[in-house]
Amino acid sequence: MTVSTEFITSARILIPLAITLVAPFFIWFFRENINRREAVSIWAGILTFLSVASMVPDVMEGKIVEYTLFTLFPGVKVSFAADGLAFIFALIASFLWVFATSYNIGYMRTLNEHAQTRYYFCFAVAIFGAVGVAFSANIFTLYLFYEIISVFTYPLVAHHQDDVSFNGARKYMVYLMGTSKLFLLPAMVMTYVLCGTLDFHLGDVAQGIFPPDADPTLVTITYVLYIAGLAKAALMPFHNWLPSAMVAPTPVSALLHAVAVVKAGVFSVSRVILSGFGVDLMDKLGLGLPTAYLAAFTIVTASLIALTKDDIKARLAYSTVSQLSYIIIGVAMLTPEAVQGGLMHIAHHAFSKITLFFGAGAIYVATHLKKISLMDGLGRRMPWTFGAFAIASLSMIGVPPVCGFATKWYLVKGAVSIGQWGLLVALLASTLLNAGYFGPIVYRAFFKAPAEGANIEQYNEAPLCMVIPLFTTALISVWLGLYPQTFLNFINVFGKF
């Protein structure tokens, strides 16, 4: 699909940012009226999604909507741009915010959680950060919103305010803020020194922003700093913050693993590779394959660790570490098929993984069980919850017609096209490992008799406001598998594939 790129300046790109910026303050204003407080989140999510979707026709015609808010000094400004890649992240963040809020209501009210206004406030600011990252037109703007996500998700991770939560949140901040200051900030400075600008090169993934005469060694060092500094992507060894953050309430885990935090990480890596360095320079300096093999190592190792976890959230956490690297391995292979597979997994993983975490939370609300070994027979009491969990598990494994299959199909095509059999083996091995740690959960729930003395008759489905978004996101993951062109269209417009 070939389209010409036209840049149009329009302040309407600020509308979704304005909505997500104002919403947290309305949440705080209505703190004494819980129904209005939660209605703000729902309506803000709907309006944000509609405002983002209103720009889709322009983007599909090959236009890039842009707007500069202000300039600090030449080459460094706060500016925004909406292209095909931006829309993948912005659409899923705003769309899933609505479902997450409905789910939050059931979870937080049923468990009578404390500090709910603070919780909803920080949740909304995190979405503001995610939308800002999606629409960032340059590295400086991306850095600002990247840090906003880190700061305002800290209270969510530390929500329970006990020793375990504070320890997990401390590790969360040390990894994310530490790497961004030690690596990402110097990378940004080096980029400015080498290029004289921090603006992404939009409209053509072949060409980046680095001049042809830039010192290859300095460019390589800058690239390594970016990969290390974007720790939200959870590439090993900068991944351990993610399992530690599982001390947070389960809806926060869904936010961290499906919508805002980790997606900001892999989106930023994708943006830096494709719109910062460009495919041609990545290939010339040989930076793509080493990154792809680091991602392959992360995929397999995290999957092996997931096999050992009996706590359902811990297993899902290491699954996320593994699945995120599918995105990076695809982008780093630098072939059209692989890049398409990697970028579509930003959306495919979001819907499947949020379903899995919604399922884990529904199980906990209904039963207070966290251990997989104690869930024998629960599928008979909670068929909707475990049915949705099974669908999302098939997506993670890569079974058609669920959307994870489309991802792996494109990634495998990409690996074969460049003759990288090591990457192909890693992808196939991960599929078997995914089946190894998801299959037993579903088998136990539906086909294994309850343990002697276990009174599963006392359990029923979680509240309807939790089950509906849970099953809806599962069905959407099937729909995306049947119609992978949904997000592929945005990718093709972005990459000119």
Segment 407-429, tens digit of pLDDT: 999 999 999 999 999 999 999 99
Asked whether residue 435 is assigned to any structural domain, the reply reads yes
Instruction: Count up the domains in the chain and report the number.
Output: 1
CA atoms within 13 A on the CB side of 435: 7
Asked whether residue 366 is assigned to any structural domain, the reply reads yes
Do residues 475 and 358 make contact, with C-beta atoms less than 8 angstroms apart? no
Q: Find tokens 């961004």 and name the residue.
A: 180
Burial readout 342-356 (b: 16 or more C-beta within 10 A, e: otherwise): bbbbbbbbbbbbbbb
- Helix 185-195 and helix 216-229: axis angle, to 10°? 150
- Count of C-beta atoms within a 10 Å radius of residue 202: 22
pLDDT for res 1? 38
Do residues 103 and 358 make contact, with C-beta atoms less than 8 angstroms apart? yes
Alpha helices, H only, 272-311 = 279-284, 288-307
Do residues 75 and 199 make contact, with C-beta atoms less than 8 angstroms apart? yes
End-to-end, the C-alpha distance of the chain in Å comes to: 6
Closest CA to 142 of 327, 268, 48, 233: 268
In Å, how far are 139, 272, 419 from 207, measured between CA atoms? 16, 12, 24
Asked whether residue 353 is assigned to any structural domain, the reply reads yes
Asked whether residue 272 is assigned to any structural domain, the reply reads no
pLDDT for res 3? 45
Cα(358)–Cα(100) distance, integer angstroms: 9
pLDDT for res 4? 58
Task: Note the pLDDT tens digit of each residue in 319-366.
Answer: 999 999 999 999 999 999 999 999 999 999 999 999 999 999 999 999
pLDDT for res 144? 95
Asked whether residue 267 is assigned to any structural domain, the reply reads no
H/E segment holding residue 5: none
Mean pLDDT by 10 residues, the chain (497 residues): 70 95 95 92 94 92 91 91 93 91 88 88 93 96 95 90 89 91 95 94 89 94 96 90 84 77 93 94 95 96 95 92 95 95 94 93 92 93 95 95 94 94 95 95 92 82 91 95 91 80
- Helix 485-495 and helix 464-482: axis angle, to 10°? 60
Asked whether residue 133 is assigned to any structural domain, the reply reads no
Cα(272)–Cα(261) distance, integer angstroms: 17
Q: How many residues does the chain have?
A: 497
Range of the domain at 440: 306-496
What tokens does 255 get? Answer: 């936010």
Do residues 192 and 140 make contact, with C-beta atoms less than 8 angstroms apart? no
Asked whether residue 107 is assigned to any structural domain, the reply reads no
* Ramachandran quadrant class, 413 (left: phi over 0; alpha: psi -120 to 50; beta: rest): alpha
Cα(380)–Cα(445) distance, integer angstroms: 7
